[in-house]
Amino acid sequence: MQTLDGSGADSNENPVNPTNDARHASNVRAPLTESQAEFWYLVECQGCKELAHSLKMIHDLALYHSDIPFDAEEKSALFDLKVLWEGFEKMGAKA
């Protein structure tokens, strides 16, 4: 089924952040690069729950306690923060 703009109704497109498709990230067999391993080490040292809380706080401060108008780029960045904090929350719940 197609919508008025020609895209499918079951399309996985997001007009704010079209690069949020993380299906390629499911390849867990690929070895980590040195910088990726360093990043995960820092995440583990800091703690997933603490990082999730910090990212959510920054998101909420920018969105709810600011009078600055947001365009598509800023909305996309806020969405990226949300994706990160939710991912850290899930990681923290598994630990």
Residue 94: predicted pLDDT? 76
- Residue 32 sits at φ, ψ, to 5 deg, of -75, 145
Banded model confidence at residue 1, pLDDT cuts 50, 70, 90: very low
Instruction: Name, in order, each residue with C-beta under 8 angstroms of 10's C-beta and a sequence gap of 6 or more.
Output: 1
Q: What is the mean pLDDT of residues 58-67?
A: 90
Q: Are 49 and 88 in contact (CB under 8 A)?
A: yes
Spatial separation of the C-alpha atoms in residues 38 and 30, rounded to whole Å: 16
According to the model, what pLDDT value does residue 29 have? 75
Confidence of residue 55 (pLDDT cuts 50, 70, 90): very high
Domain limits, the chain: 47-95
Quote the CA–CA distance of 21 and 11 in Å, as a whole number: 12
With a CB cutoff of 8 Å and minimum separation 6, the contacts of 49 are 88, 89, 92
Q: What is the pLDDT of residues 4-52, one digit of tens each?
A: 555 555 555 555 555 555 655 655 678 999 999 999 899 989 999 999 9
pTM: 0.61
